[in-house]
Protein backbone atom coordinates (compact mmCIF):
# COMPACT_ATOMS: atom_id res chain seq x y z
CA UNK A 1 0.00 0.00 0.00
CA UNK A 2 2.93 2.21 0.81
CA UNK A 3 4.28 1.68 -2.71
CA UNK A 4 1.02 2.86 -4.20
CA UNK A 5 0.97 5.92 -2.00
CA UNK A 6 4.60 6.84 -2.72
CA UNK A 7 4.07 6.77 -6.46
CA UNK A 8 0.73 8.54 -6.20
CA UNK A 9 2.37 11.30 -4.21
CA UNK A 10 5.29 11.65 -6.58
CA UNK A 11 3.00 11.77 -9.60
CA UNK A 12 0.95 14.53 -8.00
CA UNK A 13 4.05 16.52 -7.27
CA UNK A 14 5.20 16.13 -10.85
CA UNK A 15 1.82 17.14 -12.25
CA UNK A 16 1.59 20.30 -10.22
CA UNK A 17 5.07 21.36 -11.26
CA UNK A 18 3.86 20.99 -14.83
CA UNK A 19 0.51 22.75 -14.79
CA UNK A 20 0.59 23.29 -18.55
CA UNK A 21 0.19 19.62 -19.32
CA UNK A 22 -2.15 19.22 -16.38
CA UNK A 23 -4.93 21.36 -17.81
CA UNK A 24 -4.49 20.35 -21.47
CA UNK A 25 -6.88 17.37 -21.41
CA UNK A 26 -9.49 19.45 -19.61
CA UNK A 27 -9.34 22.27 -22.14
CA UNK A 28 -9.43 19.75 -24.98
CA UNK A 29 -12.49 18.15 -23.42
CA UNK A 30 -14.33 21.45 -23.08
CA UNK A 31 -13.51 22.60 -26.60
CA UNK A 32 -14.50 19.35 -28.32
CA UNK A 33 -17.83 19.29 -26.53
CA UNK A 34 -18.48 22.95 -27.23
CA UNK A 35 -17.90 22.52 -30.97
CA UNK A 36 -21.08 20.49 -31.29
CA UNK A 37 -23.64 23.15 -30.27
CA UNK A 38 -22.01 25.48 -32.77
CA UNK A 39 -22.05 23.07 -35.67
CA UNK A 40 -25.54 21.60 -35.21
CA UNK A 41 -28.92 23.15 -35.91
CA UNK A 42 -29.99 25.29 -33.01
CA UNK A 43 -32.76 23.07 -31.72
CA UNK A 44 -32.95 22.67 -28.00
CA UNK A 45 -34.49 19.22 -28.21
CA UNK A 46 -31.74 17.93 -30.51
CA UNK A 47 -28.94 19.23 -28.28
CA UNK A 48 -30.66 17.76 -25.25
CA UNK A 49 -30.89 14.39 -26.93
CA UNK A 50 -27.29 14.16 -28.11
CA UNK A 51 -25.62 16.14 -25.29
CA UNK A 52 -24.85 13.17 -23.05
CA UNK A 53 -23.32 11.17 -25.88
CA UNK A 54 -21.22 14.12 -27.02
CA UNK A 55 -19.86 14.69 -23.53
CA UNK A 56 -19.01 10.99 -23.22
CA UNK A 57 -17.18 10.92 -26.53
CA UNK A 58 -15.29 14.09 -25.59
CA UNK A 59 -14.26 12.48 -22.31
CA UNK A 60 -12.99 9.42 -24.19
CA UNK A 61 -11.00 11.58 -26.62
CA UNK A 62 -9.54 13.75 -23.86
CA UNK A 63 -8.46 10.64 -21.93
CA UNK A 64 -6.93 9.28 -25.12
CA UNK A 65 -4.95 12.49 -25.63
CA UNK A 66 -3.39 12.31 -22.19
CA UNK A 67 -2.36 8.66 -22.51
CA UNK A 68 0.64 9.06 -24.78
CA UNK A 69 2.56 11.10 -22.26
CA UNK A 70 1.73 8.81 -19.37
CA UNK A 71 4.87 6.65 -19.42
CA UNK A 72 6.85 8.50 -22.07
CA UNK A 73 8.68 10.86 -19.74
CA UNK A 74 9.51 8.04 -17.34
CA UNK A 75 10.88 5.99 -20.20
CA UNK A 76 13.01 8.80 -21.57
CA UNK A 77 14.62 9.88 -18.31
CA UNK A 78 15.28 6.34 -17.14
CA UNK A 79 13.04 6.37 -14.08
CA UNK A 80 11.01 3.60 -15.68
CA UNK A 81 14.08 1.33 -15.69
CA UNK A 82 14.64 2.12 -12.05
CA UNK A 83 11.01 1.26 -11.26
CA UNK A 84 11.27 -2.06 -13.07
CA UNK A 85 14.45 -3.17 -11.30
CA UNK A 86 13.28 -2.00 -7.91
CA UNK A 87 12.10 -4.67 -5.50
CA UNK A 88 8.80 -2.91 -4.85
CA UNK A 89 5.87 -4.44 -6.72
CA UNK A 90 5.68 -2.79 -10.14
CA UNK A 91 1.94 -3.35 -10.54
CA UNK A 92 1.17 -1.48 -7.31
CA UNK A 93 3.53 1.30 -8.26
CA UNK A 94 1.81 1.65 -11.63
CA UNK A 95 -1.61 1.60 -10.01
CA UNK A 96 -0.53 4.57 -7.88
CA UNK A 97 0.71 6.35 -10.94
CA UNK A 98 -2.40 5.65 -13.02
CA UNK A 99 -4.77 6.70 -10.25
CA UNK A 100 -2.90 9.97 -9.87
CA UNK A 101 -3.13 10.42 -13.61
CA UNK A 102 -6.88 9.81 -13.43
CA UNK A 103 -7.39 12.52 -10.82
CA UNK A 104 -5.84 15.00 -13.25
CA UNK A 105 -7.82 13.84 -16.29
CA UNK A 106 -10.95 11.79 -15.64
CA UNK A 107 -11.85 13.25 -12.29
CA UNK A 108 -11.26 16.79 -13.45
CA UNK A 109 -13.38 16.22 -16.58
CA UNK A 110 -16.15 14.75 -14.46
CA UNK A 111 -16.15 17.76 -12.18
CA UNK A 112 -16.49 20.08 -15.15
CA UNK A 113 -19.15 18.03 -16.96
CA UNK A 114 -22.16 19.74 -15.25
CA UNK A 115 -20.96 22.99 -16.79
CA UNK A 116 -21.09 21.46 -20.26
CA UNK A 117 -24.50 19.98 -19.54
CA UNK A 118 -25.83 23.48 -19.19
CA UNK A 119 -24.66 24.44 -22.67
CA UNK A 120 -26.59 21.47 -24.00
CA UNK A 121 -29.58 22.44 -21.91
CA UNK A 122 -29.68 19.04 -20.22
CA UNK A 123 -32.21 18.94 -17.36
CA UNK A 124 -30.71 19.03 -13.88
CA UNK A 125 -31.78 15.53 -12.81
CA UNK A 126 -29.94 14.15 -15.83
CA UNK A 127 -26.82 16.12 -15.01
CA UNK A 128 -26.40 13.93 -11.95
CA UNK A 129 -26.86 10.78 -13.99
CA UNK A 130 -24.12 11.90 -16.35
CA UNK A 131 -21.89 12.97 -13.48
CA UNK A 132 -22.04 9.60 -11.74
CA UNK A 133 -21.70 7.77 -15.01
CA UNK A 134 -18.48 9.63 -15.77
CA UNK A 135 -17.26 9.17 -12.21
CA UNK A 136 -17.61 5.40 -12.59
CA UNK A 137 -16.52 5.22 -16.21
CA UNK A 138 -13.46 7.47 -16.48
CA UNK A 139 -11.20 5.48 -14.09
CA UNK A 140 -11.89 2.43 -16.25
CA UNK A 141 -11.01 4.44 -19.35
CA UNK A 142 -7.69 5.51 -17.82
CA UNK A 143 -6.81 2.04 -16.51
CA UNK A 144 -7.47 0.34 -19.84
CA UNK A 145 -5.77 3.16 -21.70
CA UNK A 146 -2.68 2.79 -19.54
CA UNK A 147 -2.23 -0.75 -20.89
CA UNK A 148 -2.09 0.67 -24.40
CA UNK A 149 0.28 3.42 -23.27
CA UNK A 150 2.55 0.83 -21.66
CA UNK A 151 2.58 -1.28 -24.82
CA UNK A 152 3.60 1.64 -27.03
CA UNK A 153 5.98 3.43 -24.66
CA UNK A 154 9.10 2.74 -26.70
CA UNK A 155 7.60 3.96 -29.96
CA UNK A 156 8.35 7.48 -31.03
CA UNK A 157 4.89 8.36 -32.20
CA UNK A 158 2.74 5.86 -30.39
CA UNK A 159 -0.31 8.08 -29.98
CA UNK A 160 -2.17 6.88 -33.07
CA UNK A 161 -1.37 3.29 -32.28
CA UNK A 162 -2.73 3.69 -28.76
CA UNK A 163 -5.96 5.01 -30.26
CA UNK A 164 -6.26 2.03 -32.57
CA UNK A 165 -5.56 -0.46 -29.79
CA UNK A 166 -7.63 1.16 -27.10
CA UNK A 167 -10.66 2.84 -28.71
CA UNK A 168 -12.42 -0.44 -29.56
CA UNK A 169 -12.05 -1.47 -25.92
CA UNK A 170 -13.82 1.72 -24.86
CA UNK A 171 -17.00 0.84 -26.74
CA UNK A 172 -18.67 -1.14 -23.91
CA UNK A 173 -18.06 1.67 -21.44
CA UNK A 174 -19.46 4.16 -23.91
CA UNK A 175 -22.55 2.02 -24.54
CA UNK A 176 -23.41 1.72 -20.87
CA UNK A 177 -22.33 5.23 -19.93
CA UNK A 178 -24.16 7.08 -22.66
CA UNK A 179 -27.01 4.55 -22.66
CA UNK A 180 -27.66 5.36 -19.05
CA UNK A 181 -28.61 8.87 -19.99
CA UNK A 182 -31.11 8.04 -22.73
CA UNK A 183 -32.65 5.36 -20.51
CA UNK A 184 -33.11 7.90 -17.78
CA UNK A 185 -34.60 10.43 -20.19
CA UNK A 186 -37.27 7.86 -21.06
CA UNK A 187 -38.00 7.43 -17.37
CA UNK A 188 -36.53 3.91 -17.12
CA UNK A 189 -34.42 2.40 -14.35
CA UNK A 190 -30.66 2.86 -14.71
CA UNK A 191 -29.47 0.57 -11.91
CA UNK A 192 -28.27 -2.11 -14.31
CA UNK A 193 -26.01 0.36 -16.13
CA UNK A 194 -24.55 1.62 -12.87
CA UNK A 195 -23.82 -1.94 -11.78
CA UNK A 196 -22.24 -2.80 -15.11
CA UNK A 197 -20.01 0.27 -15.06
CA UNK A 198 -19.07 -0.55 -11.46
CA UNK A 199 -18.25 -4.13 -12.38
CA UNK A 200 -16.06 -2.98 -15.26
CA UNK A 201 -14.26 -0.61 -12.93
CA UNK A 202 -13.59 -3.35 -10.39
CA UNK A 203 -12.36 -5.65 -13.13
CA UNK A 204 -10.05 -2.97 -14.51
CA UNK A 205 -8.76 -2.05 -11.04
CA UNK A 206 -7.83 -5.63 -10.26
CA UNK A 207 -6.43 -6.76 -13.60
CA UNK A 208 -5.09 -3.67 -15.39
CA UNK A 209 -2.14 -3.05 -12.99
CA UNK A 210 -0.76 -6.50 -13.76
CA UNK A 211 -1.25 -6.00 -17.48
CA UNK A 212 0.48 -2.60 -17.30
CA UNK A 213 3.42 -3.99 -15.34
CA UNK A 214 3.74 -6.94 -17.71
CA UNK A 215 3.54 -4.72 -20.78
CA UNK A 216 6.19 -2.35 -19.43
CA UNK A 217 8.60 -5.17 -18.57
CA UNK A 218 8.26 -6.59 -22.06
CA UNK A 219 8.45 -3.34 -24.01
CA UNK A 220 11.54 -1.87 -22.36
CA UNK A 221 13.35 -5.17 -22.97
Partner 1 sequence: MMLNPSDSSSCNSDVHRLEVSDLECVRGDITLYRGLSFSTSGNRCLHIVGPNGCGKTSLLRQVCGLMQYDQGQIKWNKEFTPSHTEYKQSLAYVGHKDGLKNELTAFENLQFYQRLNSGNDEEEIDNCLARLQILKCADLAAQSLSFGQRRRLAFARLLIADKPLWVLDEPFTGIDVDGRTLIETLCIEHLQNNGLILMTHHQSLANSPLSQWRDELNLEEIGKNQ
CB-wise, 86 or 199, nearer to partner 1? 86
User: Residue from 31, 40, 86, 123 that binds partner 1 (CB under 8 A)?
Assistant: 86
CB-wise, 81 or 198, nearer to partner 1? 81
**What is the CA 104 to chain-centroid distance, rounded?**
10
CA distances 221 to 77, 84, 153, 217, Å, are 16, 11, 11, 6
Angle at 104 between CA 192 and CA 38, to 5 degrees: 75
Q: How far apart are CA 159 and CA 162, in angstroms?
A: 5
Structural contact between residues 5 and 97, judged by C-beta atoms closer than 8 angstroms: no
Angle at 165 between CA 207 and CA 66, to 5 degrees: 80
- As measured in angstroms, the least distance from the Cβ of 161 to partner 1 is 21
10 counts as binding partner 1 under rule CB under 8 A: yes
Hey, CA dihedral for 82, 11, 9, 203, is it positive or negative? negative
User: Residue from 79, 121, 192, 206 that binds partner 1 (CB under 8 A)?
Assistant: 79
192 counts as binding partner 1 under rule CB under 8 A: no
CA distances 157 to 18, 43, 109, 130, 161, Å, are 22, 40, 25, 33, 8
24 counts as binding partner 1 under rule CB under 8 A: no
- As measured in angstroms, the least distance from the Cβ of 53 to partner 1 is 37
| Interacting span for partner 1 (CB under 8 A) from 12-20, 64-72, 100-108, 152-160 | 12-20
* Count of residues near partner 1 by CB under 8 A: 20
For residue 87, the 8-state DSSP code is S
First to last CA, the chain: 27
| Interacting span for partner 1 (CB under 8 A) from 9-17, 98-106, 163-171, 183-191 | 9-17
- As measured in angstroms, the least distance from the Cβ of 220 to partner 1 is 6
| Interacting span for partner 1 (CB under 8 A) from 43-51, 62-70, 86-94, 149-157 | 86-94
76 counts as binding partner 1 under rule CB under 8 A: yes
Q: Could you list the residues that contact partner 1 (CB under 8 A)?
A: 3, 6, 10, 13-14, 17-18, 76-79, 81-82, 84-88, 220-221
Amino acid sequence: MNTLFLYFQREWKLMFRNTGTLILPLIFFLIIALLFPFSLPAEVSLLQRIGGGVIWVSAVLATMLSLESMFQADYQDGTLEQMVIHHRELSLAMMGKVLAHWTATGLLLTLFSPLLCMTFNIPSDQIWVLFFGLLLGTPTLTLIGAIGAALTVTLRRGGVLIAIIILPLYIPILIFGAGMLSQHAQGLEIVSQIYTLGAMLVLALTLAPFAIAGALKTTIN
